[in-house]
Chain A
C-alpha cells in the first residue's frame, strides 16, 4: 500500500494507481463543501428509507411507465424496491440519482440502469447491451451474463457481472471499477481513459485498444493486445486492492490475484498536449 503521507508530488488517487497522468491547467471540477451542504440540492432526488420496501410488477408496463412508477415510489420514501417480471425490457431503471436498493427479479434488455448516480442494484438475471452506461456512483451487480458495451463511459461506481460479458466492455470509461467473474469479449477497455477493469476469466482480441489511461487486470488468457496496451508490473498494493475489491464484489474471493496480468497504456499513441488547437497554431 502506498504511503500517502510521504508522497508529495502525486495526488492521492495517483498514489493508489487509479490514474497516472499529471493534469495541468485550469479545472472546472467543483469540490463538495460540507459547509454548503444545507443549500445543496440535487435535482430529481428524494429522501428514502431503506427499510421501507415494496414490490413492482412491470410485466404489463412499458419501460417509461415502469421508470415513472419507480420514481413515484421513491417520492413516497420507498428505499427498497423489488421489480418483478422485467422480461428483458429495455431501458429499465435509468436516470436514478439517489441512494436506493433496487432488485430486479429477472433479466434486463438494452441500456438498463443507464445514467444512474448512487443506487445499489442487484439484477438476478442477465443484462443486454450497454448496461449501466454513464454510471456516476453506486453499485450494480448482475448475477448472470451481460451483453456488449457493458459499463460504457462509466465515471464511477462498481459494476459487477458474475457471468461473462460481450465485446467492448468498459469502452470509453472515465472512472469506476468493472469486475467480470467470467470471460470478456473483444476490444475490452477500448479507449478507456481512467478507472479499472478486472476480468477473472479469459479476454478476447484487442484488449485495451487505444486506451489513454486506467488499468486492466486479467486472470485468464488474453486473445491479443490492442494498440498501445502494454504489460505492467503487478505491485503488492495492486494485489491488496484486488483482494479487497473481489471480496466486496462477492466473487473470486479465493482467486489467486498474484497471478493476474496488469495491462496499462503504453502512451505511445498520445497525441495531445496542454495547448488548445488555436494556441498550438500560435505556438507554431
Chain B
C-alpha cells in the first residue's frame, strides 16, 4: 500500500524533521517495513552533504544477509581513500550507525556522475543522497523509530518528503526503501506510492543510456527517469509531465529539488493524494490525517485530479 507525505514552507524555515515525522507516523498503517525522509535543511550551501551506507540493517524483518561489522569498517576506509584520491576533503564526519554515515565534503564539481560512479564502484557502498541541502535518511521500522534512531526531530529546513513503505515487490531493506536520490543530480529526491508496470522495459532503455539502478524497486525508476530527462535539459515540471505517458501503471509521486517540491498523479487517479495549499505552506499526503498532524485546525483540502502535475517553489 505505502504512504507518502510532503510539505514545503514558502518564505521561511521550520522544524521539517519533526513535522514530517508526525505526518509519516500518522500513515504508519499503510506500511512500516521501512520509512524514509528526504529533508532539505538550512545549510550555508558551501559543502556537499553525502549520506551513504556501507551495509544493510539486518534487524528483525530484514531480508538482508548478516555481515560482520569489520566489513563496514573496511568499506568506509576504501571510501575515505577514494575521496582523497578525487581531491574531496571530508570536513565533517558522522557515523550514526555502523552501516550509516554522513559526510560533509568540500569538493568543487558540477558533475556528480563520475564522483558517484567511483564511490559506488566499491562493493556494498551506496550513496543515499548527495546535495548541498538534501539529506536522505531511510531505515527499517516506522517513522518514529527511524526519527529517533537518527535524531531527525530537530532538523530545520524549508521542505521535505517522506515515505512509509509496505514492501510488496522487492526486499525489506534500506536499498529498496524510499526516498530515492535522483542520481546523479544534486539535491533531487523522489517518493512514490503505486506500481509501475513497464519498469523493466524502461530500466533497460535507461541503463543503455548510462543511468544506474541500485535496487529492483519499481519506484526507483521514477527518480532515474526524471533525472535522465533533466540531464537532457528538461525542467523538473517538464520531466514530470512526460512521465505521465512514459511510465505505465498507477502512481502518485513527489519530487523535490533544493528549492521546489512537485507532485504527479497518473491518468487513472488510482492512488490517493490529499492536498492543502496556502500562501506560506503546502502539505500533502496519502491521507488527510497526515496533514492533520501538522494542521489540526479546520482547513480546506482537496484531491488533485487525474493526470495532474503541480510544482511549488520555496
Contacts and interface: CB of A to CB of B under 8 A. Distances in A.
Interface string A17-35: 0000000000000000000
Interface string B278-314: 0000000001110110001011111101110000000
Interface stretch (A47-55, A85-93, A191-199, A212-220): A85-93
Given A106-B298, A107-B298, A147-B272, A185 B289 contact: no
Interface in A150-182: 163-168
A144 B288 CA distance: 14
Nearest to B270: A167
A182 B156 CA distance: 39
Contact of B274 (A105, A128, A168, A187): A128
Nearest to B268: A186
Contacts of A148: 269, 272, 303
A contact patch SS: loop
A205 interface: yes
A163 B302 contact: yes
Nearest to A164: B302
A109 interface: yes
A107 B269 contact: no
Interface of B: 267-270, 272, 274, 287-289, 291-292, 296, 298-303, 305-307
A47 B288 CA distance: 34
A129 interface: yes
B288 A186 contact: no
Nearest to A182: B302
B289 A90 contact: yes
Contacts of A129: 272
Contacts of A167: 268-270, 305-306
Contacts of B270: 167
Contacts of A183: 305
B302 A204 contact: no
Contact of A88 (B268, B272, B292): B292
Contacts of A205: 267, 306
A145 B307 CA distance: 19
Contact of B300 (A88, A144, A168): A144
Contact of A107 (B268, B272, B288, B305): B288
B29 to A, nearest CB: 9
A109 B300 contact: no
A126 interface: yes
